[in-house]
């Protein structure tokens, strides 16, 4: 699973045959320039989900319910329906909100759960579950989400040993992000994977290529050629 927030990225993830596209509320930071994901609105999510849908043919699209869009069951169901209308196949919700999750599922909308570090509500970004009590609570939360009907659950920023125990305790897929290699699947923010966003670098995010450097190089070459009068040349002009 990888994130996408626009049409061209969705096309690339389709070509790579990625299983799941997450239209994550991380778009607030890596695309819209917000300080946190809490500034993301349902309107933002609808706009970007629609763009991803237009570039998608084969991937399952999961869209985040943004901060405070799931305060009540009625509100969450209404917002989930809007995201599905925009092109999402399912929604993702943070935390052990079983009543709200059941309400969404009862409307025929699949839900992906999310436990461990919860970016929408945390006051500190740190690894969760290093202490036994906290680890047990995360396990209980994950099991509760499965019982509530979630088809999968994201495990974020927890020790590998805890993630392994949770994965083995669930019959639904556990998808890790900063949760080690024992999960059934993995998810990363695409902008982290390709080096396009460097304001914040999670220690668990491997950078497979640095696209930002290549874009900067291309822009600088363009600027130089325009200033020198070598672009546009005959091959890039009309007679």
| Count of the separate structural domains present in the chain | 2
199 and 90 within one domain: yes
Share of the chain above pLDDT 70, in %: 100
214 included as an active-site residue: no
Q: What is the pLDDT of residue 156?
A: 98
122 and 34 within one domain: yes
pTM of the predicted model as reported, rounded to 2 decimal places = 0.96
Q: Looking up tokens 């945390």, which residue turns up?
A: 122
Q: Looking up tokens 């999961």, which residue turns up?
A: 62
CATH code for position 138? 3.20.20.60
Q: What is the pLDDT of residue 214?
A: 97
Euclidean distance between CA atoms 206 and 188, whole angstroms: 9
Q: Return the closest-CA partner of residue 188 out of 159, 148, 156.
A: 156
Q: What is the pLDDT of residue 201?
A: 83
Q: What is the pLDDT of residue 90?
A: 99
Lookup: tokens for 159: 């020790």
Residues 6 or more apart whose Cβ sits within 8 Å of residue 15? none
User: Is the pLDDT at 125 greater than 90, yes or no?
Assistant: no
User: Is the pLDDT at 157 greater than 90, yes or no?
Assistant: yes
Q: What is the pLDDT of residue 22?
A: 99
216 and 203 within one domain: no
Q: What is the pLDDT of residue 199?
A: 85
Q: Looking up tokens 């695409």, which residue turns up?
A: 190
96 and 27 within one domain: yes
Q: Are 6 and 174 in contact (CB under 8 A)?
A: no
Give tens-digit pLDDT for 171-221: 999 999 999 999 999 999 999 999 999 888 888 999 999 999 999 999 999
Helix (H) or strand (E) holding 2: strand 2-3
86 and 8 within one domain: yes
126 and 227 within one domain: no
Q: Which residue among the candidates 35, 132, 156, 225 is catalytic per the annotation?
A: 156
201 and 104 within one domain: yes
Give tens-digit pLDDT for 26-57: 999 999 999 999 999 999 999 999 999 999 99
Average pLDDT over residues 97-125: 96
Euclidean distance between CA atoms 130 and 137, whole angstroms: 11
Ordered DSSP codes for 153-184: EEEES--HHHHHHHHHH-SS-EEEESS-S-SS
157 and 220 within one domain: no
- Identify the domain containing residue 100 by its residue range: 2-208
Q: What is the pLDDT of residue 202?
A: 87
Between the alpha carbon of residue 139 and those of residues 59, 101, 155, 172, 198, the distances in Å are 28, 17, 10, 13, 32
In the chain, what is the straight-line distance between the N-terminal and C-terminal CA atoms, in Å? 48
């Amino acid at each position: 699973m990888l994130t996408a927030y626009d049409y061209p990225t969705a096309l690339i993830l389709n070509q790579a045959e990625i299983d799941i596209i997450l239209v994550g509320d991380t778009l607030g930071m890596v695309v819209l320039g917000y300080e946190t994901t809490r500034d993301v609105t349902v309107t933002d999510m609808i706009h970007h989900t629609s763009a991803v849908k237009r570039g998608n043919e084969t991937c399952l699209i999961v869209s985040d319910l943004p901060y405070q869009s799931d305060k009540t069951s009625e509100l969450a169901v209404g917002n989930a329906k809007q995201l599905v209308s925009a092109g999402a196949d399912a929604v993702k919700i943070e935390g052990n909100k079983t009543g709200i999750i059941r309400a969404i599922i009862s409307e025929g909308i699949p839900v992906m759960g999310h436990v461990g570090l919860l970016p929408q509500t945390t006051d500190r970004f740190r690894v969760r579950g290093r202490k036994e009590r906290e680890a047990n609570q995360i396990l209980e939360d994950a099991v509760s989400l499965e019982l509530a009907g979630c088809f999968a659950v994201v495990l974020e920023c927890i020790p590998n040993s805890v993630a392994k125990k949770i994965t083995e305790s669930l019959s639904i897929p556990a998808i890790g992000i900063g949760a080690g290699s024992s999960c059934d699947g993995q998810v990363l923010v695409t902008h982290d994977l390709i080096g396009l966003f460097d304001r914040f670098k999670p220690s668990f995010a491997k950078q497979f290529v640095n696209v930002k450097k290549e874009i900067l190089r291309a822009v600088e070459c363009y600027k130089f050629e325009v200033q020198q009068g070598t672009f546009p040349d005959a091959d890039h002009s009309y007679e």
